Structure 1
């Protein structure tokens, strides 16, 4: 297991619940992406990564008090 992941898990009082929640969020994202594909949106890993970068750049400008 990568060190950064092990360090994060070590902070959790209930590792099993934390992992289950994390997997459920991934599953929900998968369902959302599948639903979007079914209605005609073309989602690629590169496109999602670019959208994430743009969002990361935009958020601090819009809400400078948030610590992201």
Structure 2
């Protein structure tokens, strides 16, 4: 790993440039994290919907079996 010795800022503009790079990096990381969480939340919602549909199908099949047994 190549480590560079920090250089002192010669102007306020250089400081703002470094600060801006750090802020941009943090905001980018937060945006990606939120994107991943949104995708995961949507996937969990889809799975929940599928499970709910499966339960409904099972209830319908059970009711059909009950009615098939009635003469």
Shorter-chain TM-score range = 0.3 to 0.5
Higher relative contact order (CA 8 A, sep 6+): 1
Higher helix share: 2
Provide TM-score, normalisation by structure 2.
0.40
- Kindly name which structure, 1 or 2, has the bigger radius of gyration based on alpha carbons: 2
